[in-house]
Every structure is written in C-alpha cells, then in structure tokens.
A and B are shown apart, each in its own frame.
Chain A
C-alpha cells in the first residue's frame, strides 16, 4: 500500500486529525500567550510593555474568534457541536471545552476589552458619525458615565478580571494539552507534562506574535517603535522560551531514559518521517536559533536597528517553530501504528474541506479580524492616533 510501511491497523492508515487540528492548538496558544503578555502590564505592573497591552488583548480576541472554526470544519455535522451546550456531558474533556471557550471569550476577554475601552467607546460614540457612531453607541450600552469614580470602578473590575483571566488562559490552553496528554493509548501524547508544555509554548507563541505584530503595525503606521517596550517583551519571550525548551527537553530525556516499549518506534519516526519537521524546523530552526538570537541581544550591546531585525527574525522563527511543534504532536502522533510495527504517511489535501487552502484562510482570517478591531478600537497609546484624538490624553 503506498505510504504505508510495515503493519498498520486498518483504522490507522488514514489520519483522522488533519492540518486543521494542528491549527487549532496553534490558534488557542496564541490567544493564551497574548493574554498572558497583556496581564504583565495589568497585574504585574510591567509598565514597559504598556504599548502592547491593548494590541495583545485585541490579538487574543481575534484569534479566539477563529479558534473553533478548524474544529467546526473537521466535524461531519458541525451543527451538532451546539448540543454540547444544550446537553453538557460533564465526564468528557472535549465536551467541556465549549464552556471553557465561552467563559474565556465572554467572561474574560470581551469583558476586559470592554472595560478598558469604555472611555474611548463613549468618546467615539460622540465624536464619530454614520455607522461607526451606531456601533459605538451600541457598545456603550446606553451608559455614558465617565465620572472619575466610574472609571475607577472600571479599573478595579478590569484588574480583577485580568487576575481571573490568567488561570483562565492557562485553563484554555492547558485543556488542549490535557486532551492530548490523556490519550493513554498513544505514547507520543500520553504524558502529564503535555498540558504544561502546551501552556509554556502558548506563552512563547503569543508573546512572539504580539511582538511581531506590534513592530509590523508600528512600522506600517510610520511611527517609531518603542524600543524599551520591545526589549522588555523580547526579554520575557527569551525567559519563557528557555522554560518551554527545558520542559520539552525534560520530556525527551525522560522518554530516552525510560525507553519503554514504544521508544524504538518513536525514535525511528523522529529520525525518518518527522526528521524535517521535528529536528530541523521545530528544534533547530524554531527553538535553538531564536533562543540564541534572543540570548545574543541579552549579552551583547547591539544597535537599535540590529535588535529590531533580530527580534523580527526571532519572532517569526518562534512562530514557525511552535507551529511545527503542534504539527509534530498532532500529525506525529498518528503516523505510527499502536502495534509499533508500522508507519503511515499524512497526505494533505489542497482544496478540500480540511486541506491546505482552508488552513491558510483560517490563519489569515484572525489577522483580518484584528485589522477590523484595530480600526474600530485603536489600541495605540500615542496622542493624535487614529480615530481618537484626545481620548488617551487623560490616561
């Protein structure tokens, strides 16, 4: 049989989870990571990253809105997914995801963004015209109260939501890792480290994404990049990446030392079918290189331009590396037989419902949503930026 080596059980020959299921943890990881970056400013009072605070929140919302779409496209009957809300099955981790998702979307992200932007929304509802005015008016919920006390209440409630949001972000992405980690029949996935590795890799990808987006957007707006901010974000990315890499290496060393009955099969796979995506792209290109680049900026005094270029390159490589990590987990876990006697091949469709084209569209869609959100709710803290000439003056 083409693409099959050795012995495969019949239900293992064709992969059930496609590139869309690779995309799903990648997108939710960006959400959780972006939110954790936002919380640095709000909860941990890291003032240097303030310019990225609102952008991080909007990025998280954009990606969170798209995150369920890969799952919906994977389902044969997407309309039935709503039934997990109607008749919740409390013993199913996958079914409970719906509630984790809604909690994170409505009780954390939307609420925090609304509270943070309320002052701007009220001002914009008065200063804009046409359809924009109607949108902002709807968003004010009819309350134009901008008294000091009201804004102080917003600040306190927003802080509380961010505090609740941090464990929620961990829950959102830790859950994704939990789903894989709890599949005891699959030795490639079944490890209690999986949720922890997923959380830290999520933080890495989210911080890298916001850093790259901030630099890209600031450059496209013709403004100067706040280097104190980007230096701080890059430093946090470096620290988080070291923890993430250490955890992944711990998992790897543990597997090698333990050498259980699956080891030979997995080892063979890493040296053959997954060599390019795992060793070359994930570890060398997507992990060691960006860590080395970011480490270089920490120990060598470089010019501003050099640092910008290094951050941009390291950020992009990080995102590629984290996507490769998701690929190696999801696709890699399905390439070998549970008999450990054979291997199959993943052939990705191009213009199918779960093919490459759809995956590209779903990767670009959050950026389009982000563009709309940035137009609607400008995240920039400088004066005279975008739609809101004076609103930030009182900040």
Chain B
C-alpha cells in the first residue's frame, strides 16, 4: 500500500534527493514533448496522498451515515422534527388529571359555590392537584387536606410584576401566618361569604 515510488526515502536525506531532482534543460524539453496523458498520470500520482486523505474523509462520512441509519429512530420526521412514535407512547401513559367535569359530577355543591365567585374559572385540580386516581376510586383514594396558608400565597403574594388589578397581599402583614380559610372561603373567596 505504501506509495514509495517518488520518495526515495530511507533517511531524512530524502529532501536533498527530491530537491536535486530539478529537471535540467534537456529533460525539461523532453518532458514538454510528452503526451498530455503522461502529464495527467504524473499529476494523478503526485496527488495520490490527497486521494488517500479524501478516502479517509469519505470513509469517515460513510461511517457516520451508517451510524446515523442505526441511531435515528425510523419514525423521526413522520409528523415534524421529532420521533413520530413518541405520540403513541405519550398517549399510552396513565392519565393523572381527571378534569373538572369529572369532579363536578360528584361535587355539585362546590360547583354551586364556585360559579358566581372569583374562582369560577380556576379548575379544581389547579389547587387540589391531579386526582384521576381519586376519581377512579373515590372511596380508597382520598385527596390530601390542603394548607391554605401555603397554597393561596402562591398566586396572591404581593409582587410588583403582577397586574395591579390582581388581588394580592403581603401575607406576613395580612394574615400573620393564619390559614387563609380562617376568614376566606377558598371556593368563593370573599370575606363573610360563608367562611368556615
């Protein structure tokens, strides 16, 4: 495989060998007289190392393409720039949220309290958390009791970035640590609106 035709190598003195191979006048004219095919062949041979380098690059690209063929999932790009099969896999995952319609089938009394209040459009599971398991088996899976001292301030703690019209309080001054449902009814949060 070694391309030693032109090297004359054996030691570092090769440079001198090649450096002194400058064609003299007679040889130069002889070379000019050569057919163009011969010149092309020489140019081809003298570019041999570049072809070898190109072959290494091509081999690298081929290895990459083969790897890519194995590594990229077949369903990639089916619908967009993602794995098409992911849709079915995600759809097959268990549902965590029951949805407010499901809650309202049993808790119609809460719906009645909510519907005219400020929280009418806050879905049940936004505060109570995902409760699909409770909806499937209400007797054995009970939702945990919420601590309103922690829950309410997630939305209502005073913050300069919130719109001025949004109800907000500095909880440390407003309630001094008392749970909000001491005064407010969470499902329809007005003072005296049936706070328990």
Contacts and interface: CB of A to CB of B under 8 A. Distances in A.
A209 to B, nearest CB: 29
Interface in A355-395: 388-391, 393-394
A86 B2 contact: no
A259 interface: no
B49 interface: yes
B16 A394 contact: yes
Interface in A145-199: 145-151, 153, 157
A146 B50 contact: no
A85 B159 CA distance: 44
B160 A144 contact: no
Given A114-B53, A126-B11, A141-B53, A147 B3 contact: no
Contacts of B159: 7
Given A7-B161, A341-B160, A141 B49 contact: yes
A326 interface: no
B21 A147 contact: yes
Q: Which of B21, B49, B77 has the most CB of A within 10 A?
A: B49
A146 B9 contact: yes
B48 A390 contact: no
Contacts of B160: 7, 339, 341
A144 B14 CA distance: 10
B87 interface: no
A127 B68 CA distance: 41
Contacts of A268: none
Interface in B151-190: 159-161
A122 B9 contact: yes
Interface stretch (B38-46, B92-100, B132-140): B38-46
A326 to B, nearest CB: 31
**Secondary structure of the A contact surface, majority rule:** helix
A119 interface: yes
Interface string B56-90: 11000000100010011000110001000000000
Interface in B7-60: 7, 9-16, 18-19, 21-22, 42-43, 45-50, 52-53, 56-57
B91 interface: no
Interface string A115-154: 0001100110011000000000000111111111111010
Nearest to A337: B161
A106 interface: yes
A149 B46 contact: yes
Contact of B13 (A140, A145, A390): A390
Which of A7, A149, A151, A341 has the largest count of B CB atoms less than 10 A from its CB? Answer: A149
B6 interface: yes
B18 A147 contact: yes
B126 interface: no
B159 to A, nearest CB: 8
Nearest to B5: A145
B1 interface: yes
Contact of A390 (B4, B12, B43, B71): B12
A212 B15 CA distance: 32
B27 to A, nearest CB: 13
Contacts, number: 107
Interface residues of B, number: 41
Contacts of A146: 6-7, 9, 14-15, 18
A145 to B, nearest CB: 4
B157 to A, nearest CB: 12
B9 A150 contact: no
A142 B43 CA distance: 18
B6 A147 contact: yes
Given A89-B81, A127-B11, A339-B161, A153 B50 contact: yes
Nearest to A390: B12
A122 B43 contact: no
Contact of A145 (B3, B11, B15, B57): B3
Contacts of B46: 145, 147, 149-150, 153
B51 to A, nearest CB: 9
A146 B6 CA distance: 6
A123 B12 contact: yes
Contact of A143 (B11, B22, B48, B76): B48
Contact of B15 (A85, A140, A394): A394
A87 interface: yes
A20 to B, nearest CB: 27
Given A122-B14, A142-B1, A85 B64 contact: yes
A9 interface: yes
Contacts of A106: 57
B10 A126 contact: yes
23 contacts: A7-B160, A85-B64, A85-B68, A87-B72, A87-B76, A89-B81, A114-B53, A118-B49, A122-B9, A123-B9, A126-B10, A140-B49, A141-B53, A145-B4, A146-B18, A150-B6, A150-B46, A150-B49, A153-B43, A153-B46, A393-B15, A394-B16, A394-B18
Nearest 4 pairs of A and B residues by beta carbon: A143-B49, A144-B7, A147-B6, A394-B15
Given A7-B160, A144-B2, A145-B5, 6 more contacts: A85-B68, A106-B57, A122-B7, A127-B11, A142-B2, A339-B161
Interface of A: 7, 9, 85-87, 89, 106, 111, 114, 118-119, 122-123, 126-127, 140-151, 153, 157, 339, 341, 388-391, 393-394
